[in-house]
A and B are shown apart, each in its own frame.
Chain A
Amino acid sequence: MLENHAKLMQFFSSTDEVIGRKRLQKMIYILKKCDIPFEERYQFHFYGPYSEELTLRVEEMCNLGFISETKEEKKNYYQYRYRLTENGREFLNHYEMDLPPLEESIKEMNGKTSRFLELVSTMLFFENLTKEEVSEKVYSVKSTQNYTDEDISDGWKFIEKLRSFH
């Protein structure tokens, strides 16, 4: 029962908090592409890979009291913070999860901007293409983000580093 929710709670238990829904979306996608068996389905959206299923599961976990959500008003938008609650920890104790340790990867991703994570997740979305084709795709579908060759090169290094953790 709720095994996919439990996997997500395992993710939240590996960090103090996650700031921002966009960041959360990209982090789970990137981990998925590093062979962490999250089951949420992703599609390409305006801001890169996005999972409606993940949004719904997070809402469910909030409503069940397994994670807490704090809404903060920014200048022109809202931002959300997520933390695993005590109830969530108790629920997680009922499961024997076989996910590898996620702490290092999460720490690395938390140290990057959500703009950079958008780039990395977009690159991973197209990773079945050659590196040159991936760059072309990034420039065409993310033209307004103005990513540079250096950003993309940093993206590949970052992907390599994350994959070395797992």
Chain B
Amino acid sequence: MAYRDERLSEEKVFKDPVHRYVHVRDRVIWDLIGTAEFQRLRRVKQLGTSYLTFHGAEHSRFNHSLGVYEIVRRIIENFKDRPNWDHEERLLCLSAALLHDLGHGPFSHSFEKVFKLDHEYFTQAILLGDTEVNQVLRKVEPEFPKKVADVINKTYPNKLVVSLISSQIDADRMDYLQRDAYFTGVSYGHFDMERILRVMRPMEDQVVVKESGMHAVEDYIMSRYQMYWQVYFHPVTRSAEVILSKILHRAKELYDKGYKFKLKPIHFLSFFAGQPTLKEYLALDESVTLYYFQMWMEEEDEVLSDLCTRFVHRRLFKYIEFNPNSQMNEWMELYKLFSKAGLNPDYYLVVDSSSDLPYDFYRPGEEGERLPIHLLQPNQELRELSRLSDIVESISGKKRTDHKLYFPLDRLEEMSNRSKTKKRIMEILYG
């Protein structure tokens, strides 16, 4: 029997708090789960620094990847024998779903911003390079790694296959919304996924939803909106993210200036230099990163030591709402006052915006901008969701954005009450 068709003698199941069970019968999928690169995802948290706000949010990209695989497996079961669906694409879909997040590094978003990296590049490198994952995929057929890479890169010719894993209502989002809600303990991220899966239909180049399933989709859109503002953009999580990003900036700045670290940051050197190889990239997970943060607490550089202590001991920055338009002059004055107070404003006075976040909520957009969610009407015509749903129209029509100013209030409070600088800073910040 060809490797691609091999089945395990008995079905394997993973207990899962979101989907109850993740079912694996294909030998290829089982072998992929066992690779070093996939197992590494256990050491990369799904929600980055959110565990400092929601103590339960310690779940990993490993959990999530299995969840996305399971959702795609169920969708494909429903699609079998439907028009437009080519069941020959089954294994490709399952593999791409399982491996879609393979290139995420530690605290992915901040790392990528600071070191100008792209996890999608590393996903491709893992799939196509000298890795265990590549070995498994190549056993299916020599071109299979490239096909999986193309699906994840969204450049595979069959757009229906791509849309299962990446679209406005895809398996990726359906898993992370429910999983993140479960592990953070919030009650927002729930929706009737079983209902959505039942009313999904394959079209030539996208997945659509029967109009009768509109209310289930509305619930999904609402949960996406609520999770965005209540979990992903939580101001305390953003504070941790600001500090994390400043730690990485500071370490890189010190390295560039030739600073002698007490503990040579071997795992970071190629990141500082801007060219990590795949091997170096894979060697730096969150456990290693947090080890360095612990060590850097003892560094002589006060900024690095202070920022790491803040992160490890959760002494986060405080924040106020900030309007960069009306408060530009105040910002410039604060910048000078912080310097005068001995607080380097490049590290201790930070504006964080909603666009700094790697999440979004649903917007229908303009014609040809990006593919919206389409409802399939009884007459077989497609209509964009917000044209039929008042709830979705009201959410997606309103542009809500946010900016906050972060700073170390504890350091300001330590200053003498007789200090004019402190008095003026506090006046600007708190009126």
Contact = CB atoms under 8 A, between A and B. Distances in A.
B118 A77 contact: no
If over half of B's interface residues share one DSSP class (helix, strand or loop), that class is named, otherwise mixed; here it is loop
A117 B323 CA distance: 35
Contacts of A41: 118
Interface in A16-55: 20-22, 25, 41, 43-47, 50, 52-53, 55
Given A43-B154, A144-B205, A60 B355 contact: yes
A137 B353 contact: no
A12 to B, nearest CB: 15
B366 A59 contact: no
Nearest to A25: B369
Contact of A50 (B205, B331, B370, B401): B370
A33 to B, nearest CB: 15
A66 B331 CA distance: 17
A114 interface: yes
Contact of B369 (A50, A74, A140): A50
Given A43-B120, A46-B159, A55-B363, A64 B368 contact: no
Nearest to B112: A41
Contacts of B403: 60
Interface string B305-335: 0000000000000000001110010011000
B367 interface: yes
A1 B370 contact: no
Given A1-B324, A44-B154, A114 B331 contact: no
Contacts of B141: none
B371 interface: yes
B367 A53 contact: no
Q: Which of A46, A60, A80, A137 has the most chain B CB atoms inside 10 A of its CB? A: A46
A80 B324 CA distance: 24
B354 A60 contact: yes
Given A66-B325, A91-B328, A118 B363 contact: no
Q: How many of chain B's residues touch chain A, expressed as a range?
A: 35 or more
A118 B159 CA distance: 17
Given A1-B331, A52-B360, A59-B401, A77 B366 contact: yes
Q: How many of chain A's residues touch chain B, expressed as a range?
A: 35 or more
A87 B81 CA distance: 58
A74 B368 CA distance: 13
Interface in B329-366: 331-332, 351, 353-355, 357, 360, 363, 365-366
Nearest to A40: B355
Interface in A45-103: 45-47, 50, 52-53, 55-57, 59-60, 62-66, 74, 76-80, 87, 91, 94
Interface string B154-188: 11110100010000000000000000000000000
Contacts of A22: 366-369
A63 B399 contact: yes
Nearest to B322: A1
B131 interface: no
Contacts of A87: 325
A62 to B, nearest CB: 6
B367 A77 contact: yes
Given A43-B120, A60-B355, A141 B401 contact: no
A57 B355 contact: yes
A143 interface: yes
A2 B351 contact: yes
A2 B369 contact: no
Contact of B399 (A43, A59, A141): A59
B363 to A, nearest CB: 7
Contacts of B355: 53, 56-57, 59-60
Contacts of B421: none
B294 interface: no
B153 interface: yes
A51 B205 CA distance: 21
B242 to A, nearest CB: 13
10 contacts: A2-B353, A22-B366, A45-B371, A46-B163, A47-B370, A57-B355, A59-B355, A79-B367, A94-B332, A141-B157
Given A43-B154, A46-B206, A141-B155, 9 more contacts: A20-B366, A46-B371, A52-B360, A55-B363, A55-B365, A56-B355, A76-B367, A126-B155, A144-B205
